[in-house]
Amino acid sequence: MPPTQLDLKDIHLPETISWWPPALGWWILAVLIPLLILMLVKIYQHLTRKTAIKTAKKILANLKQDSSKDNFQKLRELSVLLRRVAISVSPKRDVAGLTGRAWLDFLDSSLKDSPFAEGIGACLASEPYRKTPLTEIEITQLISLCEVWLKAQNNAAVKPTRAKQKL
């Protein structure tokens, strides 16, 4: 018996896989990657803020106990310390250029009343122009005010704070 020819059809290749729409895993990655990046940025901001405030508290405690510095030096160092912390915990563009009354208003923005603009804190704005040093009582009050301000920064949310607007 002769072999019979079978009626076979040619091999059909599957259609090429389309790149659109992506599979479910790609959609999940497209959502998770930006969320992960946002979460890492927030964690970094929180840690930077926390570290800046903790370091400032240590510096302030050392300054408070340092009897080798006169009150002019202490006042200058307090001013620099507050500026450094403010730049670390708030957007640089909002804080770095503030001087005089605007700087004091910014410091007051996280406190009740206006202890910087209308109280002992006002000497921070006039510090470069002072001819007489602060008394021991005044420097102690200023250091206490700075401690209160640092505590308020520690309790504040991580969001840009702006100086109070005067109407």
Q: Each residue of 13-32: b (16+ CB within 10 Å) or e?
A: eeeeeeeeeeeeeeeeeeee
DSSP state, 110? T
Residue 165 has pLDDT above 90, yes or no: no
Task: Sort 64 into a burial class: Cβ within 10 Å, 0-12 / 13-18 / 19+.
Answer: middle
Query: For residues 31 and 121, is the Cβ–Cβ distance under 8 A?
Result: no
Residue 13 dihedral angles phi and psi, to the nearest 5°: -85, 145
What Cα–Cα distance (Å) separates residue 27 from each residue in 21, 31, 53, 54?
9, 6, 40, 41
One-letter identity of residue 75? L
Residue with tokens 């109070």: 164
pLDDT in tens, 44-99: 989 999 999 999 999 999 999 999 999 999 999 999 999 999 999 888 899 999 99
Give the end-to-end CA distance of the chain in Å, rounded to a whole number.
Answer: 110
Query: For residue 40, what pLDDT is reported?
Result: 98
Mean pLDDT, residues 146-164 taken together:
71
Task: Sort 2 into a burial class: Cβ within 10 Å, 0-12 / 13-18 / 19+.
Answer: exposed
pLDDT band for position 164 (cuts 50, 70, 90) = very low
User: What pTM did the predictor assign?
Assistant: 0.73
Residue 112 has pLDDT above 80, yes or no: yes
Query: For residues 52 and 94, is the Cβ–Cβ distance under 8 A?
Result: no
Query: For residues 82 and 146, is the Cβ–Cβ distance under 8 A?
Result: yes
Query: For residue 2, what pLDDT is reported?
Result: 73
More confident site: 145 or 1 = 145
Neighbours of 39 (CB within 10 A): 10
All structural domains of the chain with their residue ranges: 48-155
